[in-house]
Amino acid sequence: MMNSEDEEDTPLEQELALDLWEGQFEFVGEGYGGDGDGGGGGSGTVHITPPPRLGNNGVKKTEAHAWCEDLTEQVQMLQQQVSVLADNQNNTDDRYTRAKQDSAALQARVHMLEEQLRESELRAEERLQEEQKRHRELMVRIEREKQLQVENCTIRLQTLELEGASLREECTRLRSQVERLRAEKQASEELRGEEQVMLAALREELQTLRDIERRTKDERRVNAQFVEELNSEIDRLKAERKGADIMEAHSQSELNGQLHDDLTGRLHELQVEVTSLRHQNKNLQETVEELQAQMLTRSLEEGRNLLTGVGNGNSLAEELEAMSAQELRDKTEEQITLEKMRTALKEQQEVNSQLRSYIDGILLNIVDNYPQLLEVKTH
């Protein structure tokens, strides 16, 4: 703290060196008195008395007059500088006084703060010692509580181990009992399942026997109806054949003859198949496919014959080319009738094909499910 005070006094001493200028200048005359209101007063204002006027009435100034005027101006300038220096000295004195006061106040504050710092350090040291003491006591208490807790946990762990051992023994006993009960339950369920399977098998067998009996009756009735339908279909085809012979002459008679022969052969084939279905089950499908291919081939051949006119002279296309417009108009009705007959014939062929497929399906079903019916019918 003393060093800072010396540093603060050094510039102040430099400022005090300006006091040496005070009293260096002394002015004489009416305007400058020793104790009056002159330049040595506190106001710092200098009153300059002008030089006495000469008796030449301003006609011509001598060198002395000029020198006096210059000297007067210089004196006035010096007086102004002295006034400024006096003002600066006053300001410097004020600053020095304030600086000394501030320095004293700061020094007092520094001493006070140092005292406070020492007191704070003492209090902090006392507080630290108290906290350390309290923490040591707390650590001792916590250590003692921890030891007690460890002992309690050890005792509880031993108790739980004993309980766990007894529970494991009980669990083993209960598990063996559960396994035994489960085995008994499974055996009873298996026995009940076998009984249910036997009961279901007996029910299915009974239902199967009833279905076989019912289907046998139905098949007998269907077969009888089917035979009647076949006979009626043959009669109808014979009648259509006669009508077709009248309308289409040789080509239609040949077609109906082939259809009649085909139906007759098919009926004969079905009768033969009824007696030998058990031994010809695999060959039956191939026979049906071959017959369908033959029917398709015959239908194509008949259509081609109608267009090309094989066996009847010119073809239909040549006849159309040879005909004139008048002949075409005359034969339009005949062509329409012929087309209707061909359409009816084609529909009849499709019906016959569907009927054959239905018969084949019935026979295959009989062969697969009820071969005993065929044996009865054969005998």
Tokens 């009926």 identify what position? 267
Report which of 86, 74, 81 is spatially closest to residue 44, judged by C-alpha positions.
86
- Residue 148: band (very low, low, confident or very high) from pLDDT cuts 50, 70, 90: very high
**Largest Cα–Cα distance in the chain?**
198
State pLDDT tens for residues 187-205.
888 888 887 887 787 778 7
| 287, pLDDT greater than 80 | no
Q: Can you tell me the distance from the alpha carbon of 219 to that of 374, in angstroms, rounded to the nearest whole number? A: 11
Tokens 């005909």 identify what position? 323
pLDDT of residue 131: 92
pLDDT of residue 333: 57
Report which of 66, 58, 366, 30 is spatially closest to residue 223, judged by C-alpha positions.
366
Q: Distance between alpha carbon 331 and the CA centroid of its chain, in Å?
A: 78
pLDDT of residue 33: 42
Phi, psi values for residue 59, rounded to 5°: -70, -45
The helix-helix angle for 281-308 and 332-369 (nearest 10°) equals 170
Report which of 258, 366, 245 is spatially closest to residue 358, judged by C-alpha positions.
366
> How would you class 273 by CB atoms within 10 Å of its CB: exposed for 0-12, middle for 13-18, buried for 19 or more?
buried
Cα-Cα-Cα-Cα dihedral of 143, 149, 153, 155, to 10°? 100
State pLDDT tens for residues 322-353.
554 455 555 555 556 556 656 766 776 676 67
DSSP 96-153: HHHHHHHHHHHHHHHHHHHHHHHHHHHHHHHHHHHHHHHHHHHHHHHHHHHHHHHHHH
36: left (phi over 0), alpha (psi -120 to 50) or beta: beta
Q: Can you tell me the distance from the alpha carbon of 350 to that of 117, in angstroms, rounded to the nearest whole number? A: 127
State pLDDT tens for residues 209-230.
777 777 767 776 776 676 677 6
pLDDT of residue 23: 42
pLDDT of residue 20: 42
> What does the pLDDT average to over 127-149?
92
| 124, pLDDT greater than 80 | yes
Which residues does 374 contact at the CB level (< 8 Å), separation at least 6? Answer: 274, 275, 277, 278, 366, 367
pLDDT of residue 214: 78
Amino acid at 118: R
Structure tokens at 133: 């003491």
Give the start-to-end residue ranges of the domains of the chain.
218-311+333-378
Coil, strand or helix at 23: coil
Q: Distance between alpha carbon 351 and the CA centroid of its chain, in Å?
A: 62
374 near 216, Cβ under 8 Å? no
Average pLDDT, the chain: 69
Q: Comparing 132 with 261, which gets the higher pLDDT?
A: 132
Q: Comparing 233 with 335, which gets the higher pLDDT?
A: 233
Percentage of the chain surpassing pLDDT 90?
16
Q: Can you tell me the distance from the alpha carbon of 121 to that of 1, in angstroms, rounded to the nearest whole number? A: 20
Q: What is the CA radius of gyration of the chain?
A: 76
pLDDT of residue 294: 63
